[in-house]
Homo-oligomer: A and B are copies of this chain.
């Protein structure tokens, strides 16, 4: 049966299965809690945009994050359907500066340039944390840009529980990770726009977004403030800076009342999920290199086993960038 006319209940079941099947997600223990927002009726750019705002509102939920997916009109496998160009509903701009460096999130630099080509005007005074507009494309009707009103973007300023200087680094991050460029597929049916979101695991922000050299690259600045010898072998300044970043991000989200899981708890919950799945006669598709957190991996049970290499459907799949 085509997803176009399928019962919403049935689509929700498929979406939960797609989450349960995703080999890279450590957060799958609560797959049965996924809620469906049915926006298959959205026909215009505006209607799609409004459904995105509803998604942000419902899933953010003032900080007590609810896992959710919004589905737009699906197409057959080979067709081109509705596309949200952004990789996530909320992401920060990355501006190329004259000296070749980047202000903001380097991961978004190319996309930011593309949006400006299309006419997006960044705020008068650019910052490292300017939320990008949504780029929504309808098949045959082109792309339109929409600014997300401030009240839909819950953000958390990052402070450290002990170090006062930390706040002066001026770091902040958005509460909701909402992937918006993957397709949700099963049978002959493909939802080319199906943004989904849960809550963050602390390392995603602290270790990767802030720590990676080709993202905000904060380890040298944090280590310097900590008074660590960044030129000395075996001073473990990167390791120490990573721990303090985790500590700060976790603390700030807690204080702000925004849902977040630390990697150790996530690892434990994941192992319970594996046990439950296996008790139910299902093996767990998994990609070790993504599942094991980028920090203290071997302190978790999940480090010590392998995972099923099969990639069953329903599934979330990469698509060619739409831009």
Main secondary structure of the interface of A (DSSP, over half): helix
Residue of chain B at shortest CB distance from A297: B294
- Interchain nearest-CB distance for A21 vs B (Å): 21
Q: Using CB atoms and an 8 Å cutoff, list the residues of chain A in contact with chain B.
A: 202, 207-208, 211-212, 219, 233-234, 236, 238-240, 242-243, 246-247, 250-251, 254, 262, 264-265, 288-289, 292, 294-299, 303
CA distance A140 to B238 in the complex (A): 54
Selected contact of A240 from candidates B243, B288, B294, B303, CB within 8 Å: B243
Task: Flag if A294 contacts B289 (CB, 8 Å).
Answer: no
Number of copies: 2
Question: In the complex the two chains form, is A298's CB within 8 Å of B212's CB?
Answer: yes
Given A289-B289, A294-B303; A262-B234 close (CB under 8 Å) = yes
Cα distance A296–B298 when bound, in Å? 11
Shortest Cβ distance from residue A217 to the other chain B in the assembled complex, whole angstroms: 11
Q: Do residues A242 and B296 form an inter-chain contact, with CB atoms below 8 A?
A: yes
Closest to A249 in B: B234
Chain B residues positioned under 8 Å from A212 (CB to CB): 298
Q: Are B299 and A238 in contact (CB under 8 A)?
A: yes
Set of chain B residues within 8 Å of A240, measured between Cβ atoms = 243
